[in-house]
Amino acid sequence: MSTLAADERPRPTAPAPAAPERPPARRRPGSRLALRNTLIGWSFILPNFLGFAVLTLVPVVTLFYVSFTDWNVFGVATWVGLDNVTRLVGDASFHRALLNTLYYAGVHIPLTLAASLGLALLLNRKMRGVAFFRTVAFFPYITSVVAIAVVWNMLFSPEFGPINQLLRAIGLADPPGWTTSSTWAMPAIILVSVWREMGYYMLLLLAGLQTVPAQLYEAARMDGANAWQRFLNVTLPGLRPTMFFVTVMLTIQSFKVFDLILVMTNGGPGQSTLVLSQYIFQKGFVENQFGYASTISVALFLLCISITVVQFLVNMRRDA
Partner 1 sequence: MATLDTASPAAAPVPATIADDPRPPRPDAQRLTVGRALGYLVMLVAAAAILLPFVWMVISSLKTNNQVFTVPVQWIPDPVVWQNYLDIWSRSQMTTWLKNTLILSVAVTSLQVITGSFAAYGFSKVRFKGRDALFLLYIGTIAVPWQSYMIPQFIMLSELGLSNTLWAIIALQTFSAFGVFLMKQFFETVPEELSEAARIDGLSEYGIWRRIMMPLSVPAIASLTLLTFVNTWNDYLGPLIYLRSPELWTIQIGLKTFISQYNAEHALIMTGSVLSVLPIAIVFLLGQRYFVQGIATTGLKG
Give, as ranges, the residues between 152 and 171 that touch partner 1 (CB under 8 A).
152, 154-155, 157, 159-162, 165
Residue 199: CB minimum distance to partner 1, A: 8
According to the binding rule CB under 8 A, does residue 125 interact with partner 1?
yes
Q: How far is the CB of 48 from partner 1 (least distance, A)?
A: 4
CB 116 within 8 A of CB 202: yes
In the complex, minimum distance from the CB of residue 259 to partner 1, in angstroms, rounded to a whole number: 5
Candidates 32, 110, 285, 316; binder of partner 1 (CB under 8 A) is: 285
70 is a site residue for partner 1 (CB under 8 A): no
Q: Which residues contact 104 (CB under 8 A, 6 or more apart)?
A: 186, 189, 190, 254, 257, 275
Secondary structure element (H or E) that encloses residue 79, with its range: strand 77-79
Q: How many CA atoms lie within 13 A of 28 on its CB side?
A: 0
- Smaller CB separation from partner 1, 34 or 172: 34
Residue 224 and residue 219: Cα distance in Å, rounded?
9
- Using CB under 8 A as the binding rule, the residues of this chain from 234 to 253 that contact partner 1 are 241-242, 245, 248-249, 252
13 interacts with partner 1 by CB under 8 A: yes
Q: What whole-number distance in Å separates Cα of residue 165 and Cα of residue 158?
A: 9
Closer residue to partner 1 (CB): 235 or 272: 235
305 touching partner 1, by CB under 8 A: yes
* 152: CB partners within 8 A, 6+ apart: 188, 192, 264
Residues 79 and 24: their CA atoms lie apart, in Å, by 52
Among the listed residues 80, 113, 123, 234, the single contact to partner 1 using CB under 8 A: 123
28 binds partner 1 (CB under 8 A): no
CA dihedral defined by 176, 182, 183, 184, rounded to 10 degrees? 50
Is 140 among the residues that bind partner 1 (CB under 8 A)?
Answer: yes
